[in-house]
Amino acid sequence: MTAVTGFPGLAALAGLVRYQSALLLRSQRWIGPLLLYAAFLAAGIRPGEPVLDSLGWAAAGLVPVAAWLVRVCVTNEPAAARDCAAAAAGPVRVHAAALLTALGGALLAGAVAAAVVLLVGGRAGVPAGTAAGAAALAVPACALAGTAVGALGSRPLVRPTGFAVLAGGLGSLAALGLSGSPARGAVTALVAGSRTGTVATAGLAAATAAALALAWGAGAVACLVARRRG
């Protein structure tokens, strides 16, 4: 018996994540966020530029991308199919699976982008291991922050499409612009590290932990509302 199958709740959630992932791939609605991210990277990253600056740019772009992916995943199913899944596994697990699928997609896109940056970026004075470690903290911080924005700005909390798009856009700007935001903290640490040649690993780790707490809280609120409203 595996570790997952030993816990029926986790096994059900894992199955729902696989289902949501397959649904996302078949829908092709991931193409929009991916094209947005590719355009964002192309606009701000050039071969030979300081690697930490480029990593900061790549991480920052994940905030709106993750928020968009959340919107896609929580609205991907027809209402009847979503109701059937909720009846079988519970609305909380169904919504949590959609959020986890969106987060996984954002993390995958960020990992690929970070790998490209590490290959083409200029590492003058910055060891490869240090840059990779910084990416391993900054990418999740921004992906988690974007997932929190998407969770609070999408169904079931915000149902109309226009308002959801507005909430996602403004929330992403706030996540990157407000002082104290984990995403801004992660990006700022990378930019400052590029100037000084020293990465504030503790600051990056704190930003990632704060983003995890923020995403968990936002996801919990969204899941609880999903249980009440459906």
3-state DSSP helix/strand/coil % of the chain, to nearest 5: 80, 0, 20
Report the 10 Å Cβ neighbour count for 145: 35
38: three-class secondary structure by DSSP: helix
Taking a C-beta distance cutoff of 8 angstroms, is the pair 149, 171 a contact? yes
Query: Where do the H-state alpha helices sit in 90-200?
Result: 91-120, 128-152, 161-177, 182-196
Using CA of residue 183, residue 106, residue 195, residue 199, what is the dihedral sign?
positive
For residues 153 and 220, give the distance between their C-alpha atoms in angstroms, rounded to a whole number.
13
For residues 53 and 58, give the distance between their C-alpha atoms in angstroms, rounded to a whole number.
9
For residues 163 and 157, give the distance between their C-alpha atoms in angstroms, rounded to a whole number.
10
Q: pLDDT category, 229, cuts 50, 70, 90?
A: low
Span of 40-49, 78-87, 172-181 with lowest mean pLDDT:
78-87
Per residue in 4-53, pLDDT tens?
A: 444 557 888 899 999 999 999 999 999 999 999 999 999 999 999 999 99
Per residue in 209-228, pLDDT tens?
A: 999 999 999 999 999 999 88
User: How many Cα atoms are found within 13 Å in the side-chain-facing hemisphere of 45?
Assistant: 27
Matching residue, tokens 């929330």? 171
User: How many Cα atoms are found within 13 Å in the side-chain-facing hemisphere of 139?
Assistant: 24
